[in-house]
Chains A and B, each alone.
Chain A
Amino acid sequence: MPESNTKISRAVNYTPKSKFWKTIVGQRALILMSLPIFAYIYIINYRPLKGLVMAFQDYRPGKAEQKWVGFKQFEILFSDEAFLRVIRNTLCMSLINLIAGFFFAILLAILINEIKHIVFKKVVQSISYLPHFLSWIIVTGLISTFLSSDGGLINDFLIKLGLITDPVHWLAQPKMFWGIVGAAHVWKEMGWDSIIYLAAITGISPELYEAAVIDGANRFQRIRYITLPGIKSTFIVLLILRLGWILNAGFEVQFLLGNGIVSDVSQTIDIFVLKNGISLGNYSLATAAGMFKSVVSLIMITIANYVSKRIGEERLV
């Protein structure tokens, strides 16, 4: 095979086509290696796409012929108060996670960067990203134990300090729920997210800092005028990535920490899809909701990409 190809390319010198085959042959190892990935993406990501037709049917499992209903499922969806509520919850929790997540990750990265003691720095860094490797089921277990009004750590602590007299039922307070979820995300992902910023900070030329020191800049000024601008492009790229996921506020946390009392504020689109699709057998409605989510994500990521190009920063696509 390779031999015959080279013959052809020799015969028709330097046409675009021969260049193409030359590249193919030259990169055959890479292409072979990426084949399993293509197979994976095809099977896991593309094949299920045909299931999206369910959103335009009254889908009942086990039936050979399905009834087509056009946009009926979407009409039901957007006239359903419960769905509008889950969109609100999803957006709000997502924004809280986004803002708090970025803020604390960058803050941690800068703080760690300023530590001069190497061993201490490494230890802090390792400990801070360990929670990333815990699954949400464990984290939510920890959270509900900490927040318990029946001998929970937080309540005991606040009572000992004399700030409150009776234990607070944290998880039964609708006003607290988004905050608890946001704090949980920050605790779990802060260390992990800061790694990439630390890497970006390391990439900043030390000469800049040296020059700044000579100019008499203090630590805060160095952070403000060198470190922060230095990680700006990383920040923009990550922001674009995250905006595409704006309707993914998470599923496990809200599902596992939610309960009847806070259900108005705790349910996200994913929980709505699960409840309708799996528990209630409304597959079509669930598909419509999921499809809506994907379309919004696609639009968001396109806009973010465009805006980023306008302001002259890096682009993803």
Chain B
Amino acid sequence: MKLSKVLVLVLALALSFSFVVTGCGQKAADEPEPEKTASKPVEKAAEAEEAPKLEPITFTMFSGDQYQAPSEDNPVVQKVRELTGVTIEFEFLVGDLAQKMGVIIASGDYPDLMNPSQSRATAMEANVFIPLDEYIGTGKYANIDSHYSPYINKLKAASGQDKIFLLDSFGRYYGNWIPPYQNGSGFFMQKDVLADAGYPNPKTLDEYFSLIENYVKKYPTIDGQPTLGFEVLSYDWRSFCLKNPAQHLVGRPNDGDVIVDPDTYVASLYQDTDFAKAYYKKLNEMFHKGVISAETFTQNYDQYLAKIATGRVVAMFDQYWNFQAGELPLRTEERWERTYVPLDITYEGYRGQYLDPPTFTGGNGMGITTACKDPERALQYIDMILTEDMQKLLQWGIEGVNYHVGDDGMYYRTDEQRAQSRDQAWIYDNMADQLWNQFPKFQGIHADGNWCHPNEQPGEVLAEQSKYDQDFLGQYGFKLPTEFLSPPPFSESPAYYPVWGYTVEDGTDAKNAINKITELENTYLPRIITEDADKFDAAWDAYVELLHGSGYEAYLDFVNAEISKRMGN
């Protein structure tokens, strides 16, 4: 009896070991596969030097963004594969980016291509990417060359090593582009507040808040729940909703933690200035009037979005992409009066600069890793998708299926096609959404007058507007919501812009300084805003003293050096 028990145990152990062994065996058998495919193009290359190589090849790609890969039988993705021979195997981020990136780097197990997203500093410092300098500008990849030629300096500056590691996926605009909707910063307000007050167009902070105050007084509840006057998201890195307004109020664009003098291009802090103080003073006043709830400083991002989705948040400062997910339910429920418009709010005597002209960030894109099985083929792939035809395929889809061409050559979609393009599940199955999103792309307007992305095509924008929105904008004589904002003052942003896109390397003095500043601001600003009115000044002074003693100069020095690099000095 006893012996048989032992036998069973030994057998069980042996069995489990054999599972492990066979598991490894299968993996080992799989591994040589990519190498085989990788060696193919190299062999063929000797035979035919000129013609582009189109043998099937699969590149693995990790993206630090949280999306979903297009489905396998997706017609547009299949068409791209037919034309290029390249299959992209996506792995999107699940969980925490810094943690995932640490694991990738520590293991040395890189994918072929990588979009490091916010972890770009870590990835570049660990030399995950191959420098692309020797490939770019040689004429071998003509489309890549012409796409990036105006921004080579920015591409190099982004790495901190004077090398090109990442090819930006966004920000390369063609044609005379004006954004049809505001994706960036603004003091947003529910349309009903403006409609209820007789369609005013507030321009100053005082006007803005008095509209909110009156509305909250008039309607203490919305759909039975308490009205929330003004939300200040201050959670984690999204605390820009708390801190960024001050720079916009004095007519500057979004440079993140610093403000840059438009004449001398010298950066300075602004969270210690009088104009910042005036803004927080206003918030303090609104807090005591009950327009701002203390809840807003303790909520997390999901709770914030959930509040917006109930339709009872009257106004907030935010960037549209950041609260878009909260507004979406309001749109699908067609509660248009609860959706938002951005307003051109400044202090008296300033001109708002909420709308950015085309801006190329630098460092916000994808790179080829040192583990890539065929870097030249990867570059050839990027080169091939940077053509007008391929871009139309990626962004508009297949002609006759996803869009039609009008008599005037302008593209349009039918109502059915528009409805499909709003359905995320349908997009995964039928459009090359992420192939477009993750890789370098055209933005703006094509040479034939069609806009690169269907959602920006003027005809489409107007056709997508609800009856409510048309009437609402009509009251102001507007066609597009961006007309609330002053048009961009330049046709293109200065070369240094934007400072928030700069890569601060881990472990440097500048990084330690910006961490310290951020922590101070995130901790003290909510306290100052919720402080008793008569203690406000004292609290502010205490905070400014801490800020000045934080060693912030290291960060400013870094930023100013980077600015002059980008300005070509």
Q: Which of A259, A264, A278 contacts B102 (CB 8 A)?
A: A278
Tell me if B515 counts as interface (CB < 8 A to partner A): yes
Complex Cα spacing A264 to B99, Å: 25
Tell me if B115 counts as interface (CB < 8 A to partner A): no
Interfacial chain B residues near A9, Cβ < 8 Å:
none
B88 to chain A, nearest CB (A): 24
Tell me if B294 counts as interface (CB < 8 A to partner A): yes
A169-B106 contact given A28-B6, A278-B96, CB 8 Å threshold: no
Tell me if B320 counts as interface (CB < 8 A to partner A): no
Q: Are A281 and B122 in contact (CB under 8 A)?
A: yes
Q: Are B526 and A62 in contact (CB under 8 A)?
A: no
A42 to chain B, nearest CB (A): 16
Contact with B along A61-75 (1 / 0, CB 8 A): 111000000000000
**Total CB contacts across the A-B interface at under 8 A:** 92
Q: Which of A61, A171, A281 contacts B298 (CB 8 A)?
A: A171
Q: Are B9 and A281 in contact (CB under 8 A)?
A: no
What is the interface size of chain B, counting residues whose CB is below 8 A from a CB of the partner? 42
Q: Are A62 and B515 in contact (CB under 8 A)?
A: no
Q: Are A264 and B506 in contact (CB under 8 A)?
A: no
Contact with A along B512-547 (1 / 0, CB 8 A): 000100010011011100100000000000000000
Interfacial chain A residues near B387, Cβ < 8 Å:
none
Q: Which of B122, B293, B526 contacts A61 (CB 8 A)?
A: B122
Contact with A along B227-242 (1 / 0, CB 8 A): 0100000110001000
Q: Are B506 and A32 in contact (CB under 8 A)?
A: no
Taking chain B's interface residues, is the majority helix, strand, or loop, or is none over half, making it mixed? helix
Q: Which of B10, B239, B506, B526 contacts A281 (CB 8 A)?
A: B506
Q: Which of A61, A171, A264, A279 contacts B106 (CB 8 A)?
A: A61
Interfacial chain B residues near A144, Cβ < 8 Å:
298, 303
A58, A148, A259 — most chain B CB neighbours (10 Å): A259
In chain B, positions 106-160 with a C-beta closer than 8 Å to chain A are 106, 108, 121-122, 125-128
Q: Are A261 and B298 in contact (CB under 8 A)?
A: yes
Q: Are B526 and A260 in contact (CB under 8 A)?
A: yes
Contact with B along A150-174 (1 / 0, CB 8 A): 1100000000000000000101100
Interfacial chain B residues near A263, Cβ < 8 Å:
519, 522-523
Tell me if A60 counts as interface (CB < 8 A to partner B): yes
A149-B530 contact given A29-B5, A169-B298, A282-B507, CB 8 Å threshold: no
A280-B515 contact given A149-B295, A260-B239, A263-B523, CB 8 Å threshold: yes
Interfacial chain A residues near B9, Cβ < 8 Å:
29, 32-33
Complex Cα spacing A151 to B96, Å: 32
Q: Are B98 and A32 in contact (CB under 8 A)?
A: no
In chain B, positions 205-264 with a C-beta closer than 8 Å to chain A are 225-226, 228, 234-235, 239
Q: Are B507 and A172 in contact (CB under 8 A)?
A: no
B10 to chain A, nearest CB (A): 7
Interface size class of A (residues with CB under 8 A): 20 to 34
Interfacial chain B residues near A171, Cβ < 8 Å:
298
Complex Cα spacing A32 to B106, Å: 34
Q: Are B105 and A62 in contact (CB under 8 A)?
A: yes
Complex Cα spacing A171 to B296, Å: 11
Q: Are B293 and A260 in contact (CB under 8 A)?
A: no
Q: Are A278 and B98 in contact (CB under 8 A)?
A: yes
Complex Cα spacing A63 to B108, Å: 10
A122 to chain B, nearest CB (A): 36
Tell me if B511 counts as interface (CB < 8 A to partner A): yes
Complex Cα spacing A58 to B508, Å: 12
B225, B239, B297 — most chain A CB neighbours (10 Å): B297
Chain A, Cβ-Cβ closest to B119: A281
B233 to chain A, nearest CB (A): 11
Interfacial chain B residues near A35, Cβ < 8 Å:
13
A31 to chain B, nearest CB (A): 11
Q: Are B125 and A60 in contact (CB under 8 A)?
A: yes
Q: Are A32 and B234 in contact (CB under 8 A)?
A: no
Chain A, Cβ-Cβ closest to B98: A278
A35, A60, A61 — most chain B CB neighbours (10 Å): A61
Q: Are A259 and B298 in contact (CB under 8 A)?
A: yes
Q: Are A151 and B225 in contact (CB under 8 A)?
A: yes
Q: Are B511 and A280 in contact (CB under 8 A)?
A: yes
Q: Are B127 and A150 in contact (CB under 8 A)?
A: no
A60, A63, A261 — most chain B CB neighbours (10 Å): A261
Q: Which of A33, A148, A260 contacts B522 (CB 8 A)?
A: A260
Complex Cα spacing A144 to B303, Å: 10
Q: Which of B6, B234, B293, B523 contacts A29 (CB 8 A)?
A: B6
Q: Are A58 and B102 in contact (CB under 8 A)?
A: no
Complex Cα spacing A308 to B349, Å: 75
Chain A, Cβ-Cβ closest to B96: A278
Q: Are B10 and A32 in contact (CB under 8 A)?
A: yes
Complex Cα spacing A60 to B511, Å: 14
A251 to chain B, nearest CB (A): 14
Interfacial chain A residues near B522, Cβ < 8 Å:
260, 263
In chain A, positions 30-71 with a C-beta closer than 8 Å to chain B are 32-33, 35, 58, 60-63
Interfacial chain B residues near A259, Cβ < 8 Å:
234-235, 297-298, 526
Chain A, Cβ-Cβ closest to B307: A150
Q: Are B226 and A150 in contact (CB under 8 A)?
A: yes
B6, B102, B294, B523 — most chain A CB neighbours (10 Å): B294
Complex Cα spacing A260 to B5, Å: 59
A61-B126 contact given A264-B523, A281-B506, CB 8 Å threshold: yes
Chain A, Cβ-Cβ closest to B108: A62
Complex Cα spacing A60 to B294, Å: 40
Interfacial chain A residues near B511, Cβ < 8 Å:
280-281
Complex Cα spacing A169 to B295, Å: 7
Interfacial chain A residues near B125, Cβ < 8 Å:
60, 62
Q: Are A260 and B523 in contact (CB under 8 A)?
A: yes
Interfacial chain B residues near A169, Cβ < 8 Å:
294-295, 298, 530
A150-B293 contact given A29-B6, A279-B98, A280-B515, CB 8 Å threshold: yes
Binding site for B on A (CB under 8 A): 28-29, 32-33, 35, 58, 60-63, 144, 148-151, 169, 171-172, 259-261, 263-264, 278-283
Can you list 19 pairs linking A and B with CB atoms under 8 Å apart? Answer: A29-B6, A32-B6, A32-B13, A33-B9, A35-B13, A62-B105, A150-B295, A171-B298, A172-B295, A172-B297, A259-B297, A260-B239, A260-B527, A261-B530, A263-B519, A263-B523, A278-B99, A280-B506, A281-B98
The 7 A-B residue pairs with the shortest CB-CB distance in the complex, in nearest-first order: A62-B126, A281-B506, A169-B294, A259-B298, A61-B105, A171-B298, A260-B522
Beyond A171-B298, A261-B523, 7 additional contacts (C-beta under 8 Å) are A29-B5, A29-B6, A32-B13, A62-B126, A63-B126, A151-B226, A172-B526
